[in-house]
Amino acid sequence: MKVILTYGTFDLFHVGHVRLLERLSKLGDKLIVGLSSDEFNKGKGKSSFFSYEERAEILSSCKFVDLVIPEHTWEQKAADIKKYNVDVFAMGDDWEGRFDSLKSLCDVVYLPKPKVSRPLR
């Protein structure tokens, strides 16, 4: 079984999130999403519209996501990769190069963000 791991805040869940999660799920057999906790977001100077629990419920209901885990620190990624036997760590290309240090533990992939088109009004 090929396990994929990604992280994010996933606040105000939208079609771009769905498209990204779908693409990530196609990289393997199981997609795990590390979801930034409210405390972790606060430490990054961010706040979410939805609470961690609400965002986790939304993500868990997405057919492309197999497991949601809390993200409490930047440093936990290596431990999560080992704990969940991750084969591919994947993020959007806006993080390109940021997680290359994890390449000794698994494949690291940066996917281009999908385009979201909006109809003209």
* pTM for this prediction: 0.91
**pLDDT score of 95 more than 70:** yes
Which candidate in 44, 82, 83, 103 is catalytic?
Answer: 44
Q: Which residue has the higher pLDDT, 41 or 116?
A: 41
pLDDT at 55: 97
DSSP assignment of 59-118 equals HHTSTT-SEEEEE--GGGHHHHHHHTT-SEEEEEGGGTTTTGGGGGTSEEEEEPPPP---
Which candidate in 42, 46, 82, 113 is catalytic?
Answer: 46
Residue 46 bears catalytic tag: yes
